Each structure stands twice: as C-alpha cells, then as structure tokens.
C-alpha cells in the first residue's frame, strides 16, 4: 500500500514538473523539416570539395548547396590530397560537427581521420564565389 502511494506521488510530481515543457507550442512541421534540411546533409551527397586553408574545406553537395567544415587539427596532406572521405558517426545525417570526421589519405598510403570542429552552410553568394558557373567564366582571349 505504501509503495503504491509513493509511486503515485512520484508520478504526480514528475507530471507536474514536465507540464510546462509539454505546454510549449511546437514549431510547425514544415518549418522543422526545412530547418533540418538546411543544416544537415548525407555524406554520400558530396560531389566535390575545395580546400580553403590548412584547416578549412568546402564540400559541394550539388544543386548549388555547400557546407564549410573546419577541422580540429591541421592535416598536413589536405592541400595535396586527390580525394578525401567524410565519415558520419552515429547515423546517416551529418547535422553537427560531432557527426562527421574527414579522412585524408597520406603520402605513405595510409589515411588519417580528423574531427570536425565547426560546420556551416554557405550562403548562395558564398557558393557562387567558391564555384563560379561555366556561363559566368569569361574566355582569356
């Protein structure tokens, strides 16, 4: 009898504490989905990359979308690597720096993994500056 009274009191207290959090209005479903799509990508969506500096690279997802990844450490072979790999950790979406590692092959034939410390989506203007379209390029002659 005492156990059931104690259990009922504990459940009532938990429900009372959770009520304010549950009473908050959730974001509309359309906005939540577009927000996730704006901040997340799959590793297999990457169509190309470019090295910005010794710790920063832009990854192109196609469709005029790109993300800028800043690495925690400086890989020595990033600027001369012919290819890189991006590994997602814990799921298929990459939505935060903790979700991704950049794999850079070394000259010796092995590869090394580097953690991502920051990531952000490039604006359309930044994308256009990083990857100018073929139509906007002028001939040299």
Q: What tens digit of pLDDT does each residue of 61-105 get?
A: 988 899 999 999 988 888 888 899 999 987 889 999 999 999 998
pTM for this entry: 0.67
103 close to 83: Cβ distance less than 8 angstroms: no
SS3 content of the chain, % helix, strand, coil (to 5): 35, 30, 35
Q: How confident is the model at residue 141 (pLDDT cuts 50, 70, 90)?
A: low
Q: How confident is the model at residue 25 (pLDDT cuts 50, 70, 90)?
A: very low
């Amino acid at each position: 009898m005492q156990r059931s009274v104690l259990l009922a009191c504990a459940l009532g207290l938990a429900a009372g504490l959770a009520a304010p959090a549950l009473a908050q209005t959730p974001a509309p479903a359309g906005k939540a989905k577009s927000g996730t799509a704006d901040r997340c990508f799959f590793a297999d969506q990457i169509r190309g990359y470019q090295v910005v500096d010794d710790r920063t690279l832009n990854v192109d997802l196609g469709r005029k979308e790109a993300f800028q990844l800043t690495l925690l450490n400086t890989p020595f072979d990033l600027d001369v690597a012919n290819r890189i790999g991006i590994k997602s950790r814990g799921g298929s979406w990459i939505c935060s720096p903790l979700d991704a590692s950049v794999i850079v092959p070394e000259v010796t034939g092995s590869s090394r993994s580097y953690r991502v410390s920051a990531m952000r989506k490039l604006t359309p203007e930044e994308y256009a500056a990083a990857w100018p379209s073929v139509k906007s390029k002028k001939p040299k002659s």
